[in-house]
Amino acid sequence: MIQLYGSPFSTCTRKVLMTLLETGTPYQLNVIDFAQREHKTEPHVSRQPFGQVPAIDDDGFVLFESRAICRYLSAKANDALVPTSLRERALMDQWSSVEQSNVSPHAMKFIYHYVFKRAQEDAVLDAARASLELAFAALSKPLATQPFLVGDKLTIADIGHMPYLELLPTTPMQASLDKFPHVVAWSSRLRERETWRKIAGR
């Protein structure tokens, strides 16, 4: 059985949890206690050299980096969450890169400030808001005509955005999100999936 090392509140762990649930992969979550700094000490740093979560151990095969883990888990499940055609796979990779570069770092500024209470300067939040609005405008284009980022099937690219779509509406970014109805509709569809509701505890 897949051993997952992470925290149920960590955004990156949540991507892996959703992938595990969407693929019906049996797993065991081993909670890494941040308060005890377990993420920065052995045995965790042998699994994840940067002292971060998540990491998995699949029968002795250890893997870290949430997006790589999601790809691996999907591949193990007959690539359930990856499109079959070359061009659709390329589009999935494109939107995953957008999540990694244009969404996650900026969304985390709001999440640090408003959810985890790690204060960010106003200028940092303003810059993050501008970057996120640019990303939401880009995401709106495919979402105007299809339910998911790549056609009509959930892929890893959608899953990657989920932790941010769950938490940003609890911050002042809600006002920005409201300017992008296709993003809001996509977010609602994803947030209502049974798998995500389980992760979010709803």
Ligand X SMILES: N[C@@H](CCC(=O)N[C@@H](CS)C(=O)NCC(=O)O)C(=O)O
* Site of interaction with ligand X (CB under 6 A): 10-12, 39, 51-54, 65-67
Residue 6 or residue 142: which is nearer to ligand X going by CB?
Answer: 6
Q: CA nearest 103: which of 64, 133, 71?
A: 133
d(Cα 169, Cα 178) in Å, to the nearest integer? 9
Nearest distance from C-beta of residue 113 to ligand X, angstroms: 15
Residue 8 or residue 51: which is nearer to ligand X going by CB?
Answer: 51
Nearest distance from C-beta of residue 68 to ligand X, angstroms: 8
Neighbours of 114 (CB within 10 A): 18
Residue 44 or residue 129: which is nearer to ligand X going by CB?
Answer: 44
Name the H helices within the chain.
Answer: 11-22, 44-47, 66-76, 86-98, 104-110, 122-143, 156-167, 173-177, 181-191, 194-200
Q: Which residue sits closest to ligand X, CB atoms considered?
A: 52
Nearest distance from C-beta of residue 134 to ligand X, angstroms: 22
Q: Judging by DSSP bridges, how do beta strands 27-31 and 55-58 pair with one another?
A: unpaired
Nearest distance from C-beta of residue 85 to ligand X, angstroms: 26
Residue 12 or residue 173: which is nearer to ligand X going by CB?
Answer: 12
Residue 63 or residue 143: which is nearer to ligand X going by CB?
Answer: 63
Nearest distance from C-beta of residue 186 to ligand X, angstroms: 21
Nearest distance from C-beta of residue 92 to ligand X, angstroms: 17
Residue 69 or residue 184: which is nearer to ligand X going by CB?
Answer: 69
d(Cα 144, Cα 100) in Å, to the nearest integer? 22
Strand partners for 28 = 3
113 alpha-carbon distance from chain centroid: 18
Map residue 6 onto helix, strand or coil. strand
Determine the residue type at 51: G
